[in-house]
Structure 1
Amino acid sequence: MTVAGLVTALVVGVAIGSLRRFIVPGRQEVPIWLTVAGGVVAALAGTIVAQLAGISTGPLNVLSLIVQIGFAVIGVALVVATATPGGSHSARTRTGVTRARGASATTERKPTRTKAA
């Protein structure tokens, strides 16, 4: 793996991770550092896979760049899909009771029966 291939992977990862923040509208619950880190790691993995496949990872190799971009896009998508808080349709309260998403945390509780002494 060449230094140029590593630098290209770093640039591609940062670019894809950052672009995701600007392309997707609305409030985003995943921090930017996580999307950028996911893009960088995936682009580095793309560089390794490209080199193992016999593709030159030297400067300005279009095929290597395509592999890095593809891996970075998939990596950022996986990071966002798995790191989104509340990935399931329920949320845990402080008491450990699972409640439906959107349900009020201050709902009234039914009184519990106690045994008479």
Structure 2
Amino acid sequence: METSQIISAIVFGIVIGALGLLAKPRGQHIGLRWTITVGIVAALAGTCIAAGLGLAETKGVNWIEWLIQIVLAAAGVAALGQFRARA
């Protein structure tokens, strides 16, 4: 993974983490820091998965990598919300 991919994954992770606050149901008690952290981790994991599948190098926007990152972020926010609700 190149440095530019890591930096873009972190920036994208911050954005999808912040957007996760808008998409979550009101009953969840996940703060901004947690959603951004989950977004960053999901974006980095999505970049690694896309690279492992040979999908990381494309010309233009890599929609498949973004889709993987978004799905991982949504799953992460939902899982954290369930975990925090039980605790």
TM-score bracket for this pair, using the shorter chain length: 0.7 to 0.9
Percentage identity across paired residues of the two chains: 31
Residue 19 of structure 1 aligns to a residue whose secondary structure is helix
8 Å contact from structure 2 (residues 28, 81) kept in 1: no
Aligned to 1:10: 10
Q: Deviations over 1:53-78 (max 9, x none)?
A: 11125673222222222222222222
TM-score (norm 2): 0.76
Which structure 1 residue ranges, 5 or more long, are not aligned? 89-117
The one-letter code of the counterpart of 2:13 is: G
Partner of 1:39: 39
Task: Count residues with an aligned counterpart.
Answer: 86
RMSD: 2.3
CA separation of 1:40 and 1:32: change in aligned 2, threshold 3 A:
same
Higher strand share: 1
TM-score (ref. length: structure 1): 0.60
> What's the offset of the Cα at 1:28?
4.7
Shift of 1:30: 1.8
Paired letter, 1:48: C
Report 1 or 2 for greater relative contact order, CA contacts < 8 Å, sequence distance ≥ 6. Answer: 2
- Map of 1:115 onto structure 2: none
Q: Confirm whether residue 69 of structure 1 aligns to residue 62 of structure 2.
A: no
CA distance, structure 1, for counterparts of residue 71 and residue 83 of structure 2: 18
Structure 1 or 2, whichever has the larger Rg, is: 1
Structure (1 or 2) with the greater helix fraction: 2
